[in-house]
């Protein structure tokens, strides 16, 4: 398979790139607004590539705003640049001439096994699906970080990536493309504590030291904002599932995006009930369907429900050790 990363780098987006580059065929990186403006996230993408000696991966700049609303950013988490916490080298290459939407469509014609890995708002992906209605049939799949089976982090119901452009998320989730969803219920398990950050620093390379500095900045910001003791490495799970699928448990279910709720706009409404009467486990409880509660909605998403945390950090550290 070939993979196209789409995101808003971003501390955890950075790790998605570094995992992917050493284990799968990456054909490009497209950027969007999200953690910061698209100008900042594009610069961050180029600098991350420079730091990892990955300048062969093309970068295409994408959406500056959501499909409908005004853009919002997260400087309280990722800093004013979207990647505060360390000095990164300036890029020596430039972005592609194509807009991210056109780059996605172009790559879909080049590769018949293309998987999109969006780890920010879904605006670029939705825009590409709208611009080329045949795109959905060409894509092998979409593996995204967004949403949640349980709570949100921007509102009680909504996770940031989906909340920033719920209309785009709705287009993607209704597209018919096979989707894997890594939401907060699992991504917060990938918790980079002080001890885990020290393990990265102990790799002993300048590269690992910079990565550790960046993740520590991110950890401290999350502690200030939410009282968390570790840095939630949300985004890299969306690519790690292709590198080490045994680390993750996913369940098929219907997922729809709430667009109109006063308190729930941007919520990923995940139907725990199964259309064939199977039991679907949620935390410590089990719910068994009967004819009165079967929804009839088609299972359109594989939702991550559990992960091997130690196994993930082992993969991450071994991969970061490949860089100098």
Element (H, E) at 65: none
DSSP SS3 for 35? coil
Other beta carbons less than 10 A from residue 276's beta carbon: 7
Question: Which candidate in 40, 78, 99, 234 is catalytic?
Answer: 234
Other beta carbons less than 10 A from residue 112's beta carbon: 11
Tell me if residue 78 is catalytic. no
Q: Of 50, 301, 15, give the one whose Cα is nearest residue 181.
A: 301
Q: What's 246's DSSP letter? A: G
Other beta carbons less than 10 A from residue 304's beta carbon: 24
**What is d(CA 161, CA 39) in angstroms, rounded to the nearest whole number?**
18
Q: What are all long-range contacts of 97-101, with beta carbons under 8 Å and residues at least 24 apart?
A: 98/60, 99/60, 99/61, 99/62, 100/6, 100/30, 100/31, 100/32, 100/60, 100/61, 100/62, 100/63, 100/124, 101/62, 101/63, 101/127, 101/128, 101/131
Catalytic residues: 234
């Amino acid at each position: 398979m070939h993979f196209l990363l789409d995101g808003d780098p971003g501390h955890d987006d950075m790790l998605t790139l570094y995992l992917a580059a050493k284990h799968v065929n990456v054909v490009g990186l497209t950027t969007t607004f999200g953690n910061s403006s698209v100008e900042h996230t594009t610069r961050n993408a180029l600098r991350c590539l420079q730091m990892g000696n990955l300048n062969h991966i093309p970068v295409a700049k994408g959406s500056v705003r959501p499909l409908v609303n005004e853009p919002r950013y997260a400087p309280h988490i990722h800093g004013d640049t979207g990647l505060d916490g360390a000095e990164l080298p300036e890029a020596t290459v430039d972005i592609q001439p194509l807009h991210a939407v056109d780059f996605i469509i172009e790559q879909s014609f080049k590769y018949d096994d293309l998987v999109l890995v969006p780890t920010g708002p879904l605006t670029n992906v939705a825009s590409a699906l709208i611009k080329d209605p045949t795109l959905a049939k060409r894509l092998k799949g979409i593996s995204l970080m967004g949403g949640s089976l349980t709570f949100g982090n921007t509102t009680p119901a909504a996770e940031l990536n989906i909340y920033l452009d719920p209309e785009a998320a709705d287009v993607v989730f209704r597209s018919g493309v096979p989707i894997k969803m890594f939401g907060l219920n699992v991504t917060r398990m990938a918790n980079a504590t002080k001890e885990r950050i020290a393990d990265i620093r102990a790799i002993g390379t300048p590269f690992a030291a910079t990565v550790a500095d960046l993740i520590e900045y991110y950890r401290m910001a999350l502690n200030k904002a939410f009282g968390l003791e570790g840095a939630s490495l949300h985004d890299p799970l969306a690519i790690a599932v292709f590198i080490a699928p045994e680390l993750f448990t996913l369940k098929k279910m219907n997922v729809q995006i709430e667009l109109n709720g006063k308190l729930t706009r941007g919520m990923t409404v995940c139907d725990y009930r199964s259309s064939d009467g199977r039991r679907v486990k949620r935390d410590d409880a089990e719910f068994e369907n009967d004819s009165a509660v079967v929804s009839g909605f088609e299972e359109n998403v594989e939702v991550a429900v559990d992960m091997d945390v130690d196994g993930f950090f082992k993969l991450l550290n071994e991969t970061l050790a490949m860089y100098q």
